Chain A
Amino acid sequence: NAGVTQTPKFRILKIGQSMTLQCTQDMNHNYMYWYRQDPGMGLKLIYYSVGAGITDKGEVPNGYNVSRSTTEDFPLRLELAAPSQTSVYFCASSTPPQPQHFGDGTRLSIL
């Protein structure tokens, strides 16, 4: 059972480039989440989804976009990458109020 799978694990982008962080879960969870983790700041929610076709903003959505065409996949898109988006990104899934299951993260540097 793979759980939550994120790709890529590492990426370096130049300012202004765009990219998509991939997230797939195989637990048939309706809810999926994207967080960013910065040192000393905990996890901040970027976007979340309560099911296929339904997404909503979290605490820090600016500069990001998401889509949810299937239950399994929840990609996060960065348009016009900025240095402030250098972070570790985590995808998670759950059936609330049960715990969220996390992927191993994508470490993104923007130079």
Chain B
Amino acid sequence: AQSVTQLDSQVPVFEEAPVELRCNYSSSVSVYLFWYVQYPNQGLQLLLKYLSGSTLVESINGFEAEFNKSQTSFHLRKPSVHISDTAEYFCAGANFGNEKLTFGTGTRLTIIP
């Protein structure tokens, strides 16, 4: 079964600094991966997805993630963070043909003014 590991439970970053949130997955077979964001007292919202094709995927609010098959990683990056990016971020994945997602334990991103 697929497993997803988020290496950092908390990441503090100064405003306008770059950030990378790390995510590694276990399976070597075809996978699809997502990043979700959760703001306080809300549900999860899709940030970006990788299904196939280009290994670099982007969101509308400046985040990007790169699917790296050799390193089994799908790290999330943003070149300059804002206060509004304060949230918890979840990486999730599954193998094609498996309808159940496996979620990482989440990374709490805190932006320091």
Contact = CB atoms under 8 A, between A and B. Distances in A.
Contact of A97 (B45, B51, B104): B51
A71 B89 CA distance: 29
Contacts of B41: 105
Given A40-B9, A97-B51, A97-B94, A105 B43 contact: yes
Nearest to A43: B103
A12 interface: no
Contacts of A43: 44, 90, 103
Contacts of B42: 104-105
Contacts of B72: none
Contacts of B51: 97-98
Given A43-B90, A99-B49, A90 B99 contact: no
B87 interface: no
B44 A102 contact: yes
A96 B99 contact: yes
A24 to B, nearest CB: 14
